[in-house]
Amino acid sequence: MSDKHEAQPGDTYASMIPYVVPASLDLLQGPTAGVVELPTRLDWGPDNRYDLANIDEATALYNKVISEASTEDDLTQHLNRDVLVALWPRLRLPRRCADLWNQAFPQLAAGNGTRG
């Protein structure tokens, strides 16, 4: 599911970023361990490799993927449902992006991680 709508008077650039939200958290079957290398379209920084054993690196990876994904496949390939639920309270996402995810999956905001 993508978040696309026509620009309206008063819209800002931030309100028009087309964040992608998966149809279900159960689709997120990405890695739970090891080192993940992100493609340049998701991370154009000098080091695009993240060790999931390091909570700070895992948090950075999830922030980048959720903020920069342009397709549901970007999410399903790199994110894992259980890891996302565990990291959700640590993530620092753009407000509108976090709001879209919280609306789609209230269990993230509630912190209980019930299947969605």
Q: What DSSP assignment string belongs to 75-86? A: HHHH-BHHHHHH
pLDDT tens for each residue of 15-62: 667 899 999 999 999 999 999 999 999 999 899 999 999 999 999 999
pLDDT tens for each residue of 72-116: 999 999 999 999 999 999 999 999 999 999 999 999 988 754 444
- For the record, the structure tokens of 53 come out as 């054993």
pLDDT at position 6 over 60: yes
pTM over 0.95: no
Instruction: Determine how many CB atoms are found less than 10 A away from the CB of residue 97.
Output: 21
Residue 84 is predicted with a pLDDT of 98
